[in-house]
């Protein structure tokens, strides 16, 4: 074995084989010692071992996310028929619609926490089970507050942009105002992408760390993304493509591709969070992402 392999594994197994076999019991990659193809091989090998349970878990996730929303949506449609004026929703229908959206949002976040927890246990070779996955629901209030804070900040920025447009429109023609604000928005897009990349691990941190809070989850995600934004963006782009390919098979394929994409996303998070041992040598990037 070369020095690179012996410095990253104490069990006599090189990094690539450890990622495929999972025999070492620990996550084989670290912040300065991972490759794209290594993460993909790891995610694929663990998916092969747990494909059935992952498909069932993701199917249950979809049911929890959409069945309550669809049921309340049908109720909304029934209540809308009692409106006095055409095209005007009565108050009960509006209330049911808002309730449906709120329940769907909470169910989606709860399902994400459970799915993330299950994938984390698989990748870290920890015991897997429904009870351990459901234990991640303890972080549901923090996750909801976290997203409320992030979306609220985004809405505030959008409101400032609208007020800026109104201010400019009052001084010049609407066309000139639209061009000016549009140009400013295009200039701000890279800033938005930079900020969004720094927030991609907020929910995963809550699912992984029982002591994480609303603000510490955001701070940890931002710190993990520092200096790694190109790599993170590249891996997440591929993870999204993997999950989207399931839509080509009448959406049924999502039960296979979405868990694989989630495993790749989760493996990227664990690699960023785990520090590199002092004696480890950096792995050459086969895929320069």
Quickly state the pLDDT bin for 167 (edges 50, 70, 90): confident
Rounded-to-integer distance, Cα 3 and Cα 1, Å: 7
**Are 236 and 265 contacting, i.e. CB atoms less than 8 angstroms apart?**
yes
Most confident of 50-54, 81-85, 86-90, 95-99: 50-54
Q: What's the average model confidence in pLDDT over 142-166? A: 86
Give the pLDDT confidence score for residue 245 in this predicted structure. Answer: 87
User: Helices 254-273 and 36-80 meet at what angle, rounded to 10?
Assistant: 120
Model confidence, pTM: 0.78
> Over the Cα atoms of the chain, what is R_g?
23
Give the pLDDT confidence score for residue 198 in this predicted structure. Answer: 93
Question: 164: burial class by Cβ within 10 Å (0-12, 13-18, 19+)?
Answer: middle
CA 207 to the chain's CA centroid: 11
Q: At residue 23, does pLDDT exceed 60?
A: no
The pair of three-digit structure tokens given for residue 96, joined into one six-digit string:
């049911």
Q: At residue 218, does pLDDT exceed 50?
A: yes
Q: Give the angle 143-264-229 at the CA atoms, nearest 5°.
A: 75
**Are 2 and 27 contacting, i.e. CB atoms less than 8 angstroms apart?**
no
Q: Which residues contact 119 (CB under 8 A, 6 or more apart)?
A: 54, 259, 262, 263, 266
What's the mean per-residue pLDDT of the chain? 80
Give the pLDDT confidence score for residue 289 in this predicted structure. Answer: 39
Quickly state the pLDDT bin for 86 (edges 50, 70, 90): very low
């Amino acid at each position: 074995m070369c020095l690179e392999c012996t410095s990253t594994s104490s069990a006599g197994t090189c990094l690539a084989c450890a990622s495929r076999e999972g025999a070492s019991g620990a996550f084989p990659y670290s912040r300065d010692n991972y490759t794209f193809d290594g993460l993909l091989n790891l995610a694929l090998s663990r998916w092969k071992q747990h494909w059935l349970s992952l498909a069932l878990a993701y199917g249950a996730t979809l049911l929890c996310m959409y069945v309550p929303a669809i049921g309340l949506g049908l109720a909304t449609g029934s209540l809308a028929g009692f409106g006095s004026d055409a095209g005007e929703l009565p108050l009960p229908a509006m209330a049911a619609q808002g309730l449906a959206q709120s329940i769907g949002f909470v169910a989606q976040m709860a399902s994400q926490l459970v799915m993330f927890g299950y994938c984390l246990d698989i990748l870290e070779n920890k015991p897997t089970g429904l009870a351990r996955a459901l234990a991640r629901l303890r972080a549901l209030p923090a996750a909801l507050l976290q997203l409320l804070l992030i979306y609220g900040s985004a809405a505030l920025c959008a409101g400032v942009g609208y007020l800026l447009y109104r201010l400019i429109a009052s001084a010049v023609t609407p066309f000139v105002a639209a061009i000016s604000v549009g140009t400013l928005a295009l200039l701000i897009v890279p800033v938005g992408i930079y900020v969004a990349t720094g927030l991609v691990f907020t929910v995963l941190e809550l699912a992984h760390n029982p002591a994480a809070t609303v603000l510490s989850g955001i701070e940890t995600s931002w710190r993990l993304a520092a200096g790694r934004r190109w790599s993170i963006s590249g891996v997440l782009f591929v993870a999204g493509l993997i999950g989207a390919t399931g839509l080509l098979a009448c959406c049924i394929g999502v039960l296979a591709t979405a868990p694989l994409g989630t495993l790749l996303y989760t493996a990227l998070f664990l690699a960023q969070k785990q520090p590199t041992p002092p004696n480890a040598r950096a792995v050459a990037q086969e895929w320069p992402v």
